[in-house]
């Protein structure tokens, strides 16, 4: 238990998998959790074959009892939790009225409730671990509401707000809370996706790109607190522009990018 540890949700594929592999290669004890048990087995085999240390378990992030069980198993008697990565998420794209109500609710439940439940359940472990960190996967879609991604975009606005609030609220406990802001990433989540923004901006980031930014972000924020970490130059430019642009200009840019 002397190794630093990281607990990653949605770890069976995509960004979560790339994150788990990167932290394992850098000496972390990795907790990899997902609803996909088969994917977790493959991940564990790869980590262990490279000499890494990993614990896996099936986790529905909307289930508070499952969170409590998995966190207890992972932290053991030490109760140590160095980094929590709230990565699990789902996406349905298309016109708002053409997406089923069930799909809208699934995005809200997994993307928002999953992150909220994980953070809430993990708090005692984070509080009792010096220098603990929480990394929430946000999105460039939280810069301005995205047509054809309305509910997904709304869930990421919620993650943005939660991150900003907890960064202030948990600072006295020495818990650092931050958010990563990638644009579209080449994962199964965007397979077959065809929206105005994907046609305009393309899908150029890889899961490894995001994992590397996540690793770098958790190395420290420097003298001034840094909460938001855009991934890639395009996300960085859009986020920077949104901070200084009047609302009408942000709307106009978003309208042009999304072809609406």
Is residue 28 annotated as a catalytic residue, yes or no?
A: no
Q: How far apart are CA 217 and CA 240, in angstroms?
A: 18
Query: Among 104, 10, 17, 6, which Cα is nearest to 61's?
Result: 10
Task: Please state, in angstroms and as integers, the Cα–Cα distance from residue 169 to each residue in 16, 73, 125, 141, following that order.
Answer: 26, 27, 16, 25
Contact (Cβ atoms closer than 8 angstroms) between residue 81 and residue 71: yes
Is residue 152 annotated as a catalytic residue, yes or no?
A: yes
Catalytic residue, from 28, 33, 144, 156: name it.
Answer: 156
Q: Provide the CB-side half-sphere exposure for 10 (13 A, CA).
A: 24
Contact (Cβ atoms closer than 8 angstroms) between residue 8 and residue 20: yes
Contact (Cβ atoms closer than 8 angstroms) between residue 178 and residue 136: yes
Catalytic residue, from 125, 144, 152, 229: name it.
Answer: 152
Q: How far apart are CA 234 and CA 218, in angstroms?
A: 21
Q: How far apart are CA 43 and CA 182, in angstroms?
A: 23
Q: Dihedral angle at the C-alpha atoms of 132, 134, 135, 140, nearest 10 degrees? A: -140
Backbone angles phi, psi at 59, to 5 degrees: -145, 120
Q: How far apart are CA 54 and CA 31, in angstroms?
A: 6
Q: Are strands 83-86 and 228-231 parallel, antiparallel or unpaired?
A: unpaired
Q: What letters, b where the CB count within 10 A reaches 16 and e where it falls short, cover 72-88? A: eebbeeeebbbbbbbbb
**Which residues are catalytically annotated?**
152, 156
């Amino acid at each position: 238990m002397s190794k630093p540890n990281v607990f990653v949700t949605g770890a069976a594929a995509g960004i979560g998998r790339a994150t788990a592999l990167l932290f394992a290669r850098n000496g972390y004890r990795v907790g990899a959790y997902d609803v996909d048990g088969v994917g977790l087995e493959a991940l564990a085999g790869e980590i262990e074959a490279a000499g890494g240390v990993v614990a896996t378990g099936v986790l529905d992030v909307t289930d508070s009892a499952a969170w409590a069980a998995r966190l207890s198993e992972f932290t053991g008697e030490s109760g140590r939790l160095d980094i929590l990565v709230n990565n699990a998420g789902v996406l349905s794209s298309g016109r708002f009225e053409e997406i089923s109500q069930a799909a809208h609710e699934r995005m809200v439940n997994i993307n928002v409730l999953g992150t909220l439940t994980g953070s809430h359940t993990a708090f005692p472990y984070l509080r009792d671990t010096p220098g603990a960190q929480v990394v929430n996967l946000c999105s460039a879609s939280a810069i301005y509401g995205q047509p054809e991604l309305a509910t997904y975009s709304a869930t990421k606005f919620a993650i943005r707000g939660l991150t900003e609030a907890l960064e202030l609220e948990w600072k006295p406990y020495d818990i650092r809370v931050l958010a990563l802001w990638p644009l579209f990433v080449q994962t199964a989540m965007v397979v077959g996706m065809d929206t105005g923004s994907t046609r305009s901006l393309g899908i150029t980031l890889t899961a490894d790109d995001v994992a590397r930014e996540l690793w770098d972000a958790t190395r420290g924020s420097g003298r001034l607190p840094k909460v938001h970490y855009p991934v890639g130059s395009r996300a960085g430019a859009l986020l920077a522009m949104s901070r200084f642009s009047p609302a009408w200009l942000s709307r106009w840019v978003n309208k042009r990018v999304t072809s609406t």
